[in-house]
Amino acid sequence: MRPSLEAARASVDEELARWLGDALREAGPIGEPIRHAVLAPGKRIRPLLLIGAWEAAGGSPRGGAADRPSGLYRLALAPELVHAYSLIHDDLPCMDDDDLRRGRPTLHVRYDERVAILAGAAIQPLAILAVGNGAAGLELSDEITARLIRVLARASGGVGMVGGQLLDLQAEREDVSFETLERIHLGKTASLISACCTMGGIAAGAPEEAVDRLTRFGIAIGLAFQTVDDILDVTGSSHRMGKAGGRDAALGKATTPSVLGLGGARERAEQLGHDAFRELASFQAADRLGDIGRLILERDR
Give the model confidence (pLDDT) of 251-298 as tens digits.
889 999 999 999 999 999 999 999 999 999 999 999 999 999 999 999
Q: What is the mean pLDDT of residues 158-162?
A: 96
DSSP bridge pairs for 101: 104
Residue 246's pLDDT band (boundaries 50, 70, 90)? confident
3-state SS assignment for residue 4: helix
Residue 154's pLDDT band (boundaries 50, 70, 90)? very high
pLDDT at 96: 85
DSSP bridge pairs for 104: 101
Instruction: Quick: pLDDT tens for 190-240.
Output: 999 999 999 999 999 999 999 999 999 999 999 999 999 999 999 875 555
pLDDT at 123: 97
Residues 119 and 260 sit within 8 Å (Cβ to Cβ): no
**What CA–CA distance (Å, rounded) separates 82 from 166?**
16
CATH of domain 3-298: 1.10.600.10
**What CA–CA distance (Å, rounded) separates 278 from 67?**
30
Please provide the average confidence, as pLDDT, over all residues in the chain. 91
Instruction: Quick: pLDDT tens for 1-29.
Output: 555 889 999 999 999 999 999 999 999 99
Helix (H) or strand (E) holding 289: helix 287-298
The amino acid at residue 86 is S
Instruction: Quick: pLDDT tens for 78-106.
Output: 999 999 999 999 999 998 888 888 788 99
pLDDT at 69: 58
Distance of CA 91 to the CA centre of its chain: 16
Residues 52 and 200 sit within 8 Å (Cβ to Cβ): yes
Tell me the three-class secondary structure of 169-203, residue by residue: HHCCCCCCCHHHHHHHHHHHHHHHHHHHHHHHHHH
Q: Which of 161, 198, 179, 160 is nearest to 279 (CA)?
A: 198
Residues 231 and 269 sit within 8 Å (Cβ to Cβ): yes
Residues 125 and 156 sit within 8 Å (Cβ to Cβ): no
Residues 77 and 46 sit within 8 Å (Cβ to Cβ): no
Instruction: Quick: pLDDT tens for 32-79.
Output: 999 999 999 999 999 999 999 999 999 874 444 444 456 999 999 999
pTM: 0.92
Percentages helix, strand, coil for the chain (3-state, rounded to 5) are 70, 0, 25
pLDDT at 238: 56
CA angle centred on 212, ends 143 and 209, rounded to 5°: 85
* Residues 6+ positions from 29 with CB-CB distance below 8 Å: none
Q: Is the pLDDT of residue 241 over 70?
A: no
**What CA–CA distance (Å, rounded) separates 67 from 48?**
16
